[in-house]
């Protein structure tokens, strides 16, 4: 049984386990240390996760989803910039943000669980053992609803989630700075889809988070979007063609722009060339995209993003009650911080040289595995005291929000306040729970309610109702309400409305279990397609032109091995046809190889005979 740390990132994920007193990376089935947070669902129901989904996004524009972590635990009304995405965000019946792929709707919790299942399966193959427990990281500024939804996704994937850890805190645990003393550390975590800044204090092996702030909708992906929009506008000016509503073109452009961004990290400019980007229907000719992108352009885009992050940094310093000059160490986390311009700009803002003993891409996942080691007793002399980033409280008369637990309170913690009724002889009260920093409840995030009955009848303002909030180490809340006179009490764990209901979770589990056999059939089909491709490759290498041509011209090959037309209803029949075809190809290939060898031997014998005959003629002439 293994416990692993998972960096469930907005754009990429990674896995580590604590082994021989250090975090060890767990590669995925593609032998990469990171897995793209992409899911592709084909019209026939086949699910692609990670690299396969990323590679087929241009072919499957209506079935590919990415950055869905930005919507987990969030209401449809809370989501901004929906139009910037290349898939559709829809409102579920309970007001949640869901994703529509083809004609089916998916919860971000369900999508996250699909991604987690892929990670766990890959980990089990690598570790050669069962993975049952994990520590999952989340952006520090995730609210209770988002944390609860992330935990539900882990449970849906069959995992026991031991702890939800803030990403900047995990990055700090992975860094050598934790070995020091009397340190005030700023962790600047700019990921693909989110930004967090945390201020921590390290003393005698205790890592205490003083404050955290951030934006769950700001990250490096915004630079990709801005750069893509620039190219789209330039292409429109050059050709008059607007591809902003063409999902295939936008997915293809996104792929090329991401590669161009990496080049511009170190070069002043790069060529962006996409052959056959569009087609001119009037002249019946292809239109190629060809333009130059500059590092200056990228840096201007990045500066806009960085300026936004520095406002959050200022706020985090205020919340921690320290000055910028008090920061002794700076840690960078997240892939975008590897960009030299970003690193230099952030270093200059903090007036502090950032640590670079850990790759920013690895830091969060490594820290998650260290936290798993702490919980398992494998890591000694290190204690983590994290914080609840956003205030939690209740709605009171007049719609006023009263915090019970203030923002940036160290967790776990328990806080209580006493309230009263606002009507005479009131026998029940609804405790409406919100999370946020605004004074009016309606401006904050509604998490749920607790109903307390059996209040002793009395004039308004007389009953004493004690409300207690308990936040666990994951930042997930239990709420208690008690009438101090009658001793009637009620308590509940706040399960946010933006999560899946138990029935929905069970349905997803049942669907997954019922389709295990079907998934196996699609995997078998992929294996047969690979076998035929390998045979064609072998024929090409051995110059078996006739065999290769015969296979590629066959209608069965075209229908079942090139096109992906299988459905749940046809897969059994298709496998019968494909297996028969593969068996026939194997026999024909073997026969072709033997025939080819025999021909080579006959050619060799004929050549030898002709040579001997020539020698005999030569001897007679002499």
CA–CA dist 514, 328 (Å, integer) = 55
What average pLDDT score do residues 525-530 get? 83
- Give the strands of the sheet with 392-396, arranged side by side: 400-405, 392-396, 428-435, 445-453
pLDDT score recorded for residue 611? 44
Tokens at residue 446, please?
Answer: 């509604």
Rounded-to-10 torsion of CA 327, 333, 337, 338: 120
| Domains and their CATH numbers in the chain | 2-219+303-386 (3.30.420.40), 390-498 (2.60.34.10), 515-609 (no CATH)
Model confidence at 519: pLDDT above 80: no
CA–CA dist 35, 480 (Å, integer) = 41
DSSP, collapsed to helix, strand or coil, labels residue 446 as: strand
Model confidence at 59: pLDDT above 90: no
Model confidence at 501: pLDDT above 70: no
pLDDT score recorded for residue 306? 97
Q: Alpha carbon of 347 to those of 179, 310, 341, 352, 353: distances in Å? A: 22, 12, 10, 5, 5
Instruction: Answer for the pair 270, 291: CB distance below 8 angstroms, yes or no.
Output: no
**For 75-79, 350-354, 417-421, 601-605, which range has the lowest pLDDT when averaged over its residues?**
601-605
What average pLDDT score do residues 106-125 get? 95
Model confidence at 264: pLDDT above 90: yes
pLDDT score recorded for residue 622? 47
Any idea what the Cα angle at residue 104 is, between residues 103 and 109, rounded to 5°? Answer: 150
CA–centroid distance for 467 within its chain? 37
What average pLDDT score do residues 443-455 get? 86
What average pLDDT score do residues 193-212 get? 88
Instruction: Answer for the pair 12, 192: CB distance below 8 angstroms, yes or no.
Output: yes
Instruction: Answer for the pair 200, 188: CB distance below 8 angstroms, yes or no.
Output: no
Surface-to-core class of residue 429, CB atoms within 10 Å of its CB (0-12 exposed, 13-18 middle, 19+ buried): buried
pLDDT score recorded for residue 604? 56
Instruction: Answer for the pair 366, 168: CB distance below 8 angstroms, yes or no.
Output: no
Which CB contacts under 8 angstroms, 24+ apart, belong to 564-570? 564/42, 564/44, 564/46, 565/44, 566/44, 566/522, 566/525, 567/44, 567/45, 568/44, 568/45, 568/518
Indicate which residues carry an active-site annotation: 7, 69, 167, 189
Model confidence at 348: pLDDT above 60: yes
pLDDT score recorded for residue 20? 86
What average pLDDT score do residues 8-13 get? 93
Higher pLDDT, 61 or 159: 159
pLDDT score recorded for residue 203? 84
């Amino acid at each position: 049984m293994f416990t692993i740390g998972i960096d469930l990132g907005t754009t990429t994920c990674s896995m580590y386990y604590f082994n021989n007193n250090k975090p060890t990376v767990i590669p995925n089935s593609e032998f990469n240390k990171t897995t793209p947070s992409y899911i592709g669902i084909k019209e026939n129901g086949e699910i692609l996760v990670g690299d396969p989904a990323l590679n087929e996004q241009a072919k499957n524009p209506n079935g590919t989803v990415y950055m869905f972590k930005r919507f987990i635990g969030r209401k449809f009304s809370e989501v901004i910039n929906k139009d910037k995405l290349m898939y559709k965000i829809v409102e579920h019946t309970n007001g949640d943000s869901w994703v529509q792929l083809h004609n089916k709707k998916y919860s971000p919790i369900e999508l996250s669980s699909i991604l987690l299942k892929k990670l766990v399966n890959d980990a089990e193959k690598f570790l050669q053992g069962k993975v049952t427990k994990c520590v999952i990281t989340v952006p520090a500024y995730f609210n209770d609803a988002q944390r609860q939804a992330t935990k539900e996704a882990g449970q849906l994937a069959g995992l026991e989630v031991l702890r939800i850890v803030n990403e900047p805190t995990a990055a700090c645990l992975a860094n050598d700075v934790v070995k020091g003393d009397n340190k005030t550390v700023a962790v600047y975590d700019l990921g693909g889809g989110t930004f967090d800044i945390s201020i921590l204090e390290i003393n005698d092996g205790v890592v205490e988070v003083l404050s955290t702030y951030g934006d769950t909708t700001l990250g490096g992906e915004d630079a990709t979007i801005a750069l893509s929009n620039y190219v789209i506008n330039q292409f429109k000016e050059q050709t008059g063609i607007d591809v902003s509503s063409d999902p295939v073109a936008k997915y293809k452009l996104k792929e090329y722009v991401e590669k161009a961004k990496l080049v511009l990290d170190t070069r002043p400019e790069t060529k962006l060339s996409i052959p056959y980007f569009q087609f001119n229907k009037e002249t019946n000719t292809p239109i190629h995209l060809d333009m130059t992108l500059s590092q200056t352009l990228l840096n201007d885009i990045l500066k806009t993003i960085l300026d936004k992050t520095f406002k959050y940094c200022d706020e985090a310093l205020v919340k921690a009650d320290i000055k910028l000059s008090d920061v002794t160490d700076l840690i960078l986390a997240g892939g975008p911080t590897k960009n030299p311009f970003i690193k230099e700009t952030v270093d200059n803002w903090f007036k502090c040289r950032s640590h670079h003993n850990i790759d920013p891409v690895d830091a969060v996942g490594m820290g998650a595995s260290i936290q798993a080691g702490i919980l398992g007793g494998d890591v000694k002399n290190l204690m983590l005291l994290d914080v609840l980033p956003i205030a939690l409280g209740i709605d009171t008369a007049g719609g006023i929000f009263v915090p019970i637990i203030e923002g940036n309170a160290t967790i776990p913690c328990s806080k209580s306040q006493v309230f009263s009724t606002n009507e005479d002889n009131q026998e029940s009260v609804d405790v409406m729970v919100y999370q946020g920093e605004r004074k009016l409840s309606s401006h904050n995030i509604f998490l749920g309610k607790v109903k307390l009955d059996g209040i002793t009848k009395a004039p308004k303002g007389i009953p004493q109702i004690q409300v207690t909030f308990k936040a666990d180490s994951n930042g997930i809340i239990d709420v208690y309400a008690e009438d101090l006179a009658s001793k009637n009490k009620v308590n509940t764990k706040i399960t946010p409305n933006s999560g899946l209901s138990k029935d929905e979770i069970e349905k997803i589990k049942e669907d997954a279990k019922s389709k295990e056999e079907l998934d196996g059939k699609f995997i078998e089909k992929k294996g047969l397609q690979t076998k035929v491709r390998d045979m064609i490759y072998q024929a090409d290498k051995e110059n078996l032109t006739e065999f290769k041509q015969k296979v590629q011209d066959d209608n069965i090959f075209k229908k079942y091995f090139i096109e992906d037309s299988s459905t749940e209803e046809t897969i059994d029949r298709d496998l019968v046809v494909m297996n028969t075809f593969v068996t026939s190809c194997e026999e024909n290939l073997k026969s072709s190889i033997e025939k080819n060898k025999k021909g080579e031997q006959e050619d060799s014998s004929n050549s030898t005979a002709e040579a001997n005959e020539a020698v005999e003629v030569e001897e007679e002439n002499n």
